[in-house]
Amino acid sequence: MKTNAARILDGLKISYRTIEYEVDLNDLSAPNVAAKIGMPLEQVFKTLVCRLQDGEHVFAVVPGGDEVDLKKLAGAAGAKKADLAPLAEVEPLTGYVRGGVTVIGAKKPFRAFADETIELFEEVSLSAGMRGLQIVLAPADYLRATSATVADLTKAVHG
């Protein structure tokens, strides 16, 4: 099954593989996805749609077990403030549903910011643009495909 994201990667001659998993609509969390695809949670990145105080939308790509630090994101984006975009806006803005959001092939080319930990791994997993399908690729290839800015974007989650 080829998603728009996969077709774009093909066009860029970027090597990747996909992993399908069974979707649980009651648990679209990154920890659940990581368990289902058998990858460490810190290598499974989630893509969040955020809005800066001037109304610009940006993507924040962070490890599945971490929370985005909105102050750090705002700083990386050169803004005073950032908030998560309301869930109702995600699909109209990106063309993707919650649990299937990816920077690659999004409806609008928002600026993307990836947490610096993405560069620690040989490969990372991100949504392929639909629930139930992940793309696994080298971080450098992901960064090239998305033109994402690498920055410290997370805050420690105490659990």
**pLDDT per residue as tens digits for the range 20-30:** 999 999 999 99
Q: Which two tokens stand for residue 53?
A: 């105080």
Look at residue 106 and give its three-state secondary structure: coil
Average model confidence (pLDDT) across the chain: 96
State the average pLDDT over residues 113-126. 98
Whether residue 48 has pLDDT greater than 80: yes
pLDDT in tens, 59-110: 999 999 999 999 999 999 999 999 999 999 999 999 999 999 999 999 999 9
Look at residue 71 and give its three-state secondary structure: helix
Task: With cut-offs at 50, 70 and 90, classify the pLDDT of residue 1.
Answer: confident
Domain boundaries in the chain?
4-154
Look at residue 22 and give its three-state secondary structure: coil
Whether residue 156 has pLDDT greater than 90: no
What's this model's pTM, rounded to 2 decimal places?
0.95
Rounded distance, CA 154 to CA 61, Å? 10
Q: Look up the CATH number of domain 4-154.
A: 3.90.960.10
Whether residue 158 has pLDDT greater than 90: no
Whether residue 116 has pLDDT greater than 80: yes
Q: Are 19 and 133 in contact (CB under 8 A)?
A: yes
